[in-house]
């Protein structure tokens, strides 16, 4: 806890919670709490970036036109007329402000941990596995919670409803359970650096107050173990090698891992965190105006992210521009320079 920045949002839908509380837990009145005050279901109110990504992949536009990460929010979604909850906009602003690494949204009504993608790729199907490029990492994150929960992987426990997730080690790919477009998990993965999962902590959707102490005991160890996973993988700082920014961190550097078609970026001060399972990885740091740098980074089984720092040097063109701007001049366009020299030679010959 002392080495982890923990942010807690008590309720994503406070108005809905009040409705559920008034309805009570016995006769299903809690179902009114699914919607916001304006009647919007936040569970699928985030931008559908999956479709943008998959269409770009089909057209082979990645990463030339569309990146495989930090996908921009469509303009229509940002307009005032869009059907977007106030709560949704607030959460997006929160996620864009703070460089979260790992997130879990806690829900009730089942005993399972669901990991992205939550949306199927085949339009004519309602259920099918839809793995992310980081599927192995997400599976481990989900299992780290489920395996330490007091009931999720207990073969003797009763099934909450009709599906026995205990047979799947208490985890499930979201899209293979039920497809949702515009989920928080998918949006978080495709628009930020954060790996987000949905954690269903108990069979009751809205448990009675008297049941909360037992539910706390069921989930206490799992919550701690899950938060510890943020220290698994690699981390580091990407710095400028010389010039006015010598030694300073470089923001928005793309961190790529060979074999995983999903990148992340450095924060405003040049540091980054990249969740990975144990193994050896070839990692590249690249930024506009800098020569890229590649190195091998080893992730061990012991808890604690491996330090993997980078130092980038400006490209020759970037250095020329920096020097020219320093003296109040603009860089000379090379094609224009060649034409000017050719004109001089012609006059000399004449």
Question: Are residue 161 and residue 218 in the same domain, yes or no?
Answer: yes
User: Edge-to-edge, what's the strand order for the sheet holding 195-202?
Assistant: 102-107, 195-202, 110-115, 171-173
- For residues 308 and 258, membership in a common domain is answered with yes
How many angstroms separate the CA atoms of 152 and 145, rounded? 9
Residues in Cβ contact with 184 at an 8 Å cutoff, skipping those fewer than 6 apart: 42, 43, 46, 91, 105, 196, 198
pLDDT tens per residue across span 201-230:
999 888 888 999 999 999 999 999 999 999
The count of domains in the chain is 2
Grade residue 300 by pLDDT with cuts at 50, 70 and 90. very high
pLDDT at 348 over 60: no
Examine the pLDDT at 3 and tell me if it is beyond 80: yes
Rounded distance between C-alpha atoms, residue 226 and residue 103, angstroms: 9
With contact defined as beta carbons under 8 Å apart, do 191 and 70 qualify? yes
In this prediction, what percent of the chain has a pLDDT beyond 70? 87
The token pair that represents 5 in the structure block: 């920045």
Asked whether residue 226 falls in the same domain as residue 286, the answer is no
Q: State the average pLDDT over residues 237-256.
A: 87
> What average pLDDT score do residues 58-72 get?
92
Position 23 scores a pLDDT of: 74
269 in the same domain as 141? no
Task: Say if 153 falls within a structural domain.
Answer: yes
The CATH number linked to 213 is 3.40.630.10
Residue 317 is predicted with a pLDDT of: 67
245 and 207 in one domain?
no
Same domain (yes/no): 37, 116: yes
The stretch 161-184 carries a mean pLDDT of: 92
Weakest-pLDDT range from 52-66, 233-247, 332-346? 332-346
**305 Cβ neighbours under 8 A, 6+ residues apart:** 231, 232, 233, 234, 235, 273, 299
Whether 201 and 279 map to the same domain: the answer is no
Highest mean pLDDT among 80-89, 319-328, 334-343: 80-89
Confidence of residue 345 (pLDDT cuts 50, 70, 90): low
User: Which pLDDT score is estimated for 318?
Assistant: 60
The sign of the dihedral angle between the CA atoms of 312, 317, 322, 323 is positive
Are residues 63 and 157 both part of a single domain? yes
- Please report which confidence band the pLDDT of residue 130 belongs to, taking 50, 70 and 90 as the band edges: very high
- 248 & 168 share domain: no
The pLDDT value recorded for residue 337 is 56
One domain for residues 227 and 240? no
pLDDT reading at 185 higher than 80? yes
Decide if 333 is inside a domain: no
Picking from 214, 231, 248, the residue at the C-terminal end of a domain is 231
> Are 252 and 148 contained in the same domain?
no
Can you give the pLDDT at residue 64?
A: 84
Nearest CA among 106, 315, 261, 280 for reference residue 196: 106
* H or E element that contains 295: strand 293-299
Q: Rounded mean pLDDT of 113-120?
A: 97
Mean pLDDT check: name the lowest of 24-28, 52-56, 109-113: 24-28
Structural domain for 134, as ranges: 14-231
Whether 215 is in a domain gets the answer: yes
Q: What number is the average pLDDT over the span 138-150?
A: 97
271: in domain: yes
Output the CA–CA distances (angstroms, integers) from residue 256 to 142, 200, 206, 223, 317, in the order listed: 23, 32, 42, 29, 23
- pLDDT value of residue 26: 61
pLDDT of residue 340: 59
Same domain for 207 and 270, yes or no, is: no
Q: Are 297 and 308 in contact (CB under 8 A)?
A: yes
Query: What percentage of the chain exceeds 90 in pLDDT?
Result: 70
Has residue 339 got a pLDDT over 80? no
Secondary structure (3-state) at 238: strand
pLDDT, tens digit, for every residue of 276-287? 999 999 999 999
The domain that holds 260 is classified in CATH as 2.60.40.1120
């Amino acid at each position: 806890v002392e080495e982890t920045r923990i942010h807690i949002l008590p309720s994503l839908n406070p108005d809905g919670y009040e409705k559920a509380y008034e309805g009570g837990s016995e006769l299903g009145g809690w179902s009114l709490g699914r919607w916001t005050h304006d009647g919007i279901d936040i569970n699928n109110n985030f931008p559908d970036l999956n479709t943008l990504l998959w269409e770009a992949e089909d057209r082979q536009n990645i990463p030339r036109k569309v990146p495989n990460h930090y996908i921009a929010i469509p303009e229509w979604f940002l307009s005032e007329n869009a059907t977007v909850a106030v709560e949704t906009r607030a959460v997006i602003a929160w996620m864009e402000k703070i460089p979260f690494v790992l997130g879990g949204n806690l829900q009730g009504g089942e005993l399972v941990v669901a990991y992205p993608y939550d949306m199927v790729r085949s339009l004519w199907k309602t259920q099918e596995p839809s793995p992310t490029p980081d599927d192995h990492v997400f599976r481990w994150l989900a299992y780290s919670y489920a395996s330490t929960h007091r009931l999720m992987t207990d073969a003797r426990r009763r099934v909450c409803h009709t599906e026995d997730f205990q047979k799947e080690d208490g985890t499930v790919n979201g899209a293979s359970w039920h497809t949702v477009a515009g989920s928080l998990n998918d949006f978080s993965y495709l628009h930020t650096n954060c790996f987000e999962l949905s954690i269903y902590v108990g069979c009751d959707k809205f448990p009675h107050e008297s049941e909360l102490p037992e539910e706390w005991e069921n989930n206490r160890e799992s919550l701690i173990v899950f938060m510890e996973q943020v220290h698994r993988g690699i981390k580091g700082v990407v710095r400028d090698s010389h010039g006015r920014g010598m030694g300073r961190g470089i923001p928005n550097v793309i961190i790529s891992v060979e074999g995983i078609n999903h990148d992340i970026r450095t924060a405003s001060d040049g540091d980054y965190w990249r969740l990975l399972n144990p193994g050896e990885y070839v990692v590249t740091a690249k930024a506009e105006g800098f020569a890229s740098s590649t190195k091998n980074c080893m992730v061990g089984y012991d808890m604690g992210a491996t330090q993997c720092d980078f130092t980038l040097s400006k490209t020759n063109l970037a250095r020329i521009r920096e020097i020219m701007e320093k003296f109040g001049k603009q860089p000379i366009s090379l094609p224009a320079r060649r034409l000017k020299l050719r004109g001089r030679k012609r006059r000399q010959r004449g």
